[in-house]
Amino acid sequence: MRNIVLKNVMMLVVFGLIMGCSATRNANNKQKGAVIGAAGGAVIGGVIGNNVGKGNTVLGAIIGGVVGGVAGGYIGDRMDRQAEKIEEEIPGAEVTRIGEGINVTFNEEAGVHFDTAKSNVKGTSAETLDKLAEIFKEYPKSVILIEGHTDSAGPDDYNMNLSRQRAESVTNYLISKGIDAQRFTTKWYGENQPKADNATAEGKAQNRRVELGIIASEALKKEAIDKTNN
């Protein structure tokens, strides 16, 4: 059932983007953000917010919190800059701009991954998070979503707890680097959201991960509305 919902959600996302882009073929990113927000944001945000657990996934939280209109374009412009910075500083980051937010996943070389049954941050994961922390400091008016995941080895309840430990481990690591704890929303899903095939060792390694979403804070939303209403 969840796969069907997500398929429908992505179809609506594409529909919203087509609506916006058809009107802004020659527009810059900021202008595109404004039109896309106005054309598709309300519909897409409502469907995702209602059907994907009211923000219980990165995708749902990003699109469900869309502001839309010219204010959405203002936010999108700042998210463009932050996304570009992440791509520049962390070559292994897979950055997707969605609506007015950013979804960040990683490849295995530069990602935030974990050893089997472990939740401690170390090695490449620590280096990646150190770079992210510096970027988050440059863009303080954003909320950071942290999601923990596991592979399929072990009982469901064990994996749920392990994914919680991983999400909290990453959150605490970033807080230790000077990021305000109030900026974080931390969630976990056990083995329920694999990104690769758990039948292979390579797939399991990819599933032992944490993913991030970045959305506008209430302060940035207010700033966007104030700036674009003048």
pLDDT in tens, 129-167: 999 999 999 999 999 999 999 999 999 999 999 999 999
Identify the CA nearest to 190 among candidates 212, 213, 157, 168: 157
Residue 55 has pLDDT above 60, yes or no: no
Which residues share a beta bridge with 95?
104
Chain-wide mean pLDDT for the chain?
Answer: 78
Beta bridge partners of 212: 104, 146
When pLDDT is averaged across residues 40-58 and rounded to a whole number, the result is: 40
Burial (CB count <10 Å: 0-12, 13-18, 19+), residue 101: buried
pLDDT at 115: 80
Count the alpha carbons within 13 Å of 227 in the hemisphere toward its beta carbon.
13
Looking only at the bridges linking them, the beta strands covering 210-216 and 101-106 are: antiparallel
- Judge whether residue 60 has pLDDT over 90: no
For residues 190-204, average pLDDT: 92
Element containing residue 223 per DSSP (H, E): helix 218-229
What does the pLDDT read at residue 229? 87
Return the CATH number of the domain spanning residue range 2-229.
Answer: 3.30.1330.60
Pairing between β-strand 184-188 and β-strand 142-148 as defined by DSSP bridges: parallel
- pLDDT digit string (tens) for 67-112? 889 999 999 999 999 999 999 998 888 899 888 999 998 776 667 7
pLDDT for 110: 66
